[in-house]
Amino acid sequence: MTRPGLRDQGAIALIVAILFGTFVLLGCAALTIDVGNINLDRRQLQNGADSVALAVAKDCANTGTCAPNDPSLLTLVNSNAADGATEIRRVDGLTPAICGNAPGLLPCPAAAAPNTGNLQECPSSSLPASTNYVRVYTETKNAGGTHLLPYSFGAAITGAGSGANQQACASVAWGPAGSGASAFPVTFSYCDWQAATGADPLATPEPVLGTYVAPPAAGQNPGYGAAPNTPWPTAASQVSLYTAKNPGSCPTWNGHVAPGNFGALANIGCNAAIVNGWVEGTTGNSSPCGDSALSALRGTVIYIPIFDCDSPTWNSFANCNGAHGAHDWYHISGYAAFYLTGFYFSGSGNAGNSIFPPDGGAKPCHGSDRCVSGWFTTGTMQTTIDTSGAPGFGTSVIQVAG
């Protein structure tokens, strides 16, 4: 009673729908994989660019001269790629691929009508044009040495041709530490720092960088001594910074601690942040934050505030010669990295004895003297870059520019 073939009606349409849907799904899957691979390559490129830029910036900050041709940089960028192959190179062929504004770096070229589909430029920086920075470009590369990565199916669908050529960029700046840095609660003068390091950042025609002891091995305390750690410095490198008397290198009170203040700073704690340039001095010669807290800092790099004005009133550069010793104000112009070996304040007893092997167990100063002992080194701080033009005192802030 039924018409023949009625049960087969629509079968072809169903088969076509299944086949069409399958190819669409396969195409979407292929495109997803290709786009995912492109994004993965970009991430690896960015990791490599970031690593190289940070390494160059740290070397520039610590040595005063950049080394963009260091062979270890290529090893570093390759270690961030899954296939171990990445190029420090721009896709538009312009050179150099490591450039910037610092001694040893060539200026960065302007992009020659870059293709924004495969050329990722660094973001513009809000820092002043005089700020030191390095910019690093990295480009895709495969094991065969070519720079096109073949994403055949997805590339064909998107019209990208036979492959993709990607680039990443990283820009890192460095400069003196600004306000807000955690610091030691005793300040020393600009001329004390000059006398100890031989540095003169204001010299013309070229600044004098000074001499610093190499920093201790990372993660070690006290950080020097047995191999493979950095050896202990020579005895001649150790200095005692006096907090209660005029050093002979500074003939007047302008630029030193005020009589009775001994360079101790009020209301900042043992390693707290200095939130603005002016800090009040505290009268007395006892330990500024307790011997036990200071003892824990021996064998570490501390950051000593360096002042360039000692005034009886807050925010008054006109009275830098008028310090009188009671609640004076110090203007902190920067921070110096200092490896602390010992200290002595009134009543400290043996708590601050030196840990330096040649005089280990001895007090760094005696009698009425109050001091901290150690040597100036180089280091980096976690705060903002000071753009006022103050020197860095061997200490820098490194931050991503952009």
pLDDT at 242: 83
pLDDT at 158: 47
pLDDT tens figures, 153-175: 545 554 444 555 678 888 998 88
For the beta carbon of residue 20, count every other beta carbon within 10 angstroms: 10
Chain centroid offset of residue 327 CA: 35
**How many Cα atoms are found within 13 Å in the side-chain-facing hemisphere of 255?**
13
State the average pLDDT for the chain.
Answer: 77
Q: Can you name the residues that pair with 279 across neighbouring β-strands? A: 330
For 44-57, what is the mean pLDDT? 87
Q: What is the 3-state secondary structure (H, E, C) of 295-325?
A: HCCCCCEEEEEEEEEEECCCCCHHHCCCCCC
Chain centroid offset of residue 384 CA: 10
54: Cβ–Cβ under 8 A, 6 or more apart, which residues? 170, 172, 398
Q: What angle do CA 18, 20, 22 make, to 5 degrees?
A: 65
Residue 356, pLDDT above cutoff 90 = yes
pLDDT at 98: 93
For 228-255, what is the mean pLDDT? 73
Measured CA to CA, the distance from residue 171 to residue 333 in angstroms comes to 26
Range from 253-257, 312-316, 381-385 carrying the lowest mean pLDDT = 253-257
pLDDT at 206: 78
3-state DSSP helix/strand/coil percent for the chain, to nearest 5? Answer: 25, 25, 55
- Which position has the higher pLDDT, 101 or 182? 101
Residue 15, pLDDT above cutoff 70 = no
DSSP run (H or E) holding 382: none
Residue 262, pLDDT above cutoff 70 = yes
Residue 360, pLDDT above cutoff 70 = yes
Q: Can you name the residues that pair with 309 across neighbouring β-strands? A: 331
Residue 246, pLDDT above cutoff 60 = no
Residue 303, pLDDT above cutoff 60 = yes
